[in-house]
């Protein structure tokens, strides 16, 4: 695992070859990216946090999780940059309208947050609820994306 500094604090990033398998909030400062693949991942994360990148285009392996969680993570991966969707909307998309809380739990278990953007999932009416990295990190990520999206739309 290597550590990337970001506007939401240090992120521990775990890779296997060129594939990202884990992202952890609040990682302790440690080794920098070591392999060329690690440097590529670190550069993409740094570009994202600088507002220069809106799609990571990285190979990701979602380890663990139940079948339901994997389906939720696949839906989350489809959420466009700068947009938000509710937990209930994801539950509906999965054909289980009563599963909004379970969607929230699956978001909390996302092994690669930020890259698979669970921060883009909000409560009914856009309410800021739940996030494995804490609401303040979620707010910062959403503000970054909103600012970048507005800048790109209006020049």
Residue bearing tokens 């994202």: 48
Provide the b/e sequence for 98-136 (b: ≥16 CB within 10 Å). Answer: ebbebbbebbebbbbbbbbbbbbbbeeeeeeebbebeee
SS3 128: coil
Tell me if residue 107 is catalytic.
Answer: no
From the candidates 4, 13, 118, 141, which is the catalytic residue? 118
Beta bridge partners of 12: 3, 24
Q: How far apart are CA 147 and CA 136, in angstroms?
A: 16
Instruction: For helices 100-108 and 67-77, give the axis angle rounded to 10 degrees.
Output: 80
What's the alpha-carbon Rg for the chain, to the nearest Å? 15
Task: Please identify every residue annotated as catalytic.
Answer: 118
């Amino acid at each position: 695992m290597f550590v990337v500094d970001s506007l939401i604090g240090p992120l521990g990033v775990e890779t296997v070859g060129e594939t990202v398998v884990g992202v952890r909030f609040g990682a302790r400062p440690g080794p920098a990216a070591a392999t060329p693949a690690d440097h590529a991942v670190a550069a993409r994360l740094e570009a994202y946090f600088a507002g220069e990148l809106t799609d990571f285009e990285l190979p990701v392996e979602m380890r663990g999780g139940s079948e339901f969680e994997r389906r939720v993570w696949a839906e989350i991966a489809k959420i466009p940059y700068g947009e938000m969707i509710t937990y209930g909307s994801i539950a509906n998309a999965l054909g289980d309208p009563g599963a909004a809380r379970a969607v929230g739990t699956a978001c909390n278990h996302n092994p690669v947050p930020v890259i698979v953007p669970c921060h883009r999932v909000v409560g009914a009416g856009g309410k800021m609820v739940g996030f494995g990295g804490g609401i303040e990190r979620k707010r910062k990520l959403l503000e970054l994306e909103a600012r970048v999206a507005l800048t790109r739309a209006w020049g």
